[in-house]
Amino acid sequence: MKVIDCIKQAKSTLFSIEILPPLKGKSIQSIFDGIDPLMEFKPSFVDVTYHREEYLYKKRDGGYLEKVSIRKRPGTVGICAAIINKYHVDAVPHIICGGFSREETENALIDLHFLGIDNVLALRGDSIKSESEFIPEPNGHAHAVDLIKQMEQMNRGRYIEDDLADVSPTNFCIGVAGYPEKHSEAPNMVSDIKFLKAKIDAGAEYIVTQMFFDNAKYFEFVKKCREMDIHVSIIPGLKILTTKKQATLLPKVFNIDIPQALLEEIEKCKTDAEVKEAGIEWCINQSKELIQQKAPCLHYYTMGTSETTRRVASKVF
Ligand code: FAD
């Protein structure tokens, strides 16, 4: 079922999760081990992230350094197919602009279409570490909105080669990312939401937010989106804070704030085990308030571990 139909048919707030493909060489069993304990909460869909290539320098015989391209977490599409097959639950592959030409994107979308996967989350992706800003592939997309336009064209049966006969239109339900605390590169919130609206106008049907720890930021974001004529469902993305280090790392990586009250709780903790308990408690309270305020779905970033998400879900679903 399409994510948007799950939301339309829901009588209460839905539960969904996001997982990362395992590191290259690891078994898919680690994915199943992560999902199994969460199935009792009936996730409406499972998002699977996409990880583009990175460049590393490897020391070769003779001491010279060779620049090699590696993908640490391949397998997004295969994992989605395996999840659908094993759990009969909808899987949402993340599709990014970075590293893809338009032709490669088209071919990836044809694979999904053939597999019967009709949900996608369309993203630009971040710049690779060796680049100071995002650089699209030659003939690739510079922004998520351009990727959505390509998907929409395919939904209308229009492929890059415009002289194909008897084409089969795709049927993608497209989700996009939104940022309650603003995307790091956006000059201000109004500009960021204007570009978010362009993604909706291009055909995206719902928004999943970046993680946030202060519900007030989400409520304010939803209000601003509505004021700027965005009326699709805005799904809050939630992460459970589990280590002291994350209190400084997450703001840097995701351009978000840690609320002072949460920071004070973390500072009281002597060990990361205690931080995890505080993080779970915080997320339970966040979740309860979001449900009370009728958020369409709570989307948990599991980051490869299900235990904390299971503990939160068991208190709120
Ligand atoms: P865009 O919508 O293209 O926006 C990027 C920036 O450009 C913003 O500052 C925006 O304001 C601005 N902008 C947008 N359109 C235009 C325009 N037409 N002209 C000028 N400026 C414009 N990354 C991955 O690599 N893999 C994943 O699986 C992944 N999953 C994610 C899931 C969620 C829910 C979220 C919130 C993020 C995810 N990311 C993922 C990270 C995401 O790719 C980065 O945050 C990236 O920097 C921006 O992606 P976007 O789709 O929001 O980009």
The CATH number linked to 63 is: 3.20.20.220
Find the range with the poorest average confidence among 65-69, 151-155, 235-239, 263-267. 65-69
Question: Atom 40 of ligand 1 has which residue's CA nearest to it?
Answer: 125
Question: Atom 30 of ligand 1 has which residue's CA nearest to it?
Answer: 49
Q: Which residues are 14's β-sheet partners?
A: 297
Q: Is residue 283 part of a domain?
A: no
Query: Do 138 and 65 meet the contact criterion of CB atoms below 8 Å apart?
Result: no
User: By residue range, what is the domain housing residue 234?
Assistant: 3-240+299-304
Question: Atom 25 of ligand 1 has which residue's CA nearest to it?
Answer: 125
Q: Is residue 280 part of a domain?
A: no
Count CB atoms within 10 A of the CB of residue 27: 9
Residue 57: left if φ>0, alpha if ψ -120 to 50, beta else—which one?
A: beta
Confidence of residue 91 (pLDDT cuts 50, 70, 90): very high
Per the structure, the count of domains in the chain is 1
Instruction: Give the pLDDT confidence score for residue 193 in this predicted structure.
Output: 98
> Region 274-289: what's the mean pLDDT?
98
Q: Which residues are 175's β-sheet partners?
A: 121, 206
Cα-based torsion angle of the residue sequence 249, 134, 151, 302 in order, rounded to the nearest 10 degrees: -10
> Region 248-266: what's the mean pLDDT?
98
Q: Is residue 173 part of a domain?
A: yes
Q: Which atom of ligand 1 is nearest to the CA of 125?
A: 43
Q: Is residue 276 part of a domain?
A: no
Q: Between 173 and 70, whose confidence is greater?
A: 173
Pocket of ligand 1 (CB under 6 A): 49-50, 52, 94, 96, 123-126, 143-145, 177, 183, 185-186, 191-192, 195, 199, 208, 210, 237
> Region 30-58: what's the mean pLDDT?
94
- CA 258 to chain CA centroid, nearest Å: 20
Q: Is residue 310 part of a domain?
A: no
Q: Which atom of ligand 1 is nearest to the CA of 185?
A: 9
Confidence of residue 54 (pLDDT cuts 50, 70, 90): confident
Q: Is 218 exposed, middle or buried, given 0-12, 13-18 or 19+ CB atoms closer than 10 A?
A: buried
Q: Is residue 45 part of a domain?
A: yes
Q: Is residue 221 part of a domain?
A: yes
Q: Is residue 114 part of a domain?
A: yes
By percentage, how much of the chain surpasses pLDDT 70?
Answer: 100
Residue 18: left if φ>0, alpha if ψ -120 to 50, beta else—which one?
A: beta
* Beta carbons within 8 Å of 224's beta carbon, 6+ residues apart: 189, 193
Identify the sign of the CA torsion 295, 46, 203, 166. Answer: negative
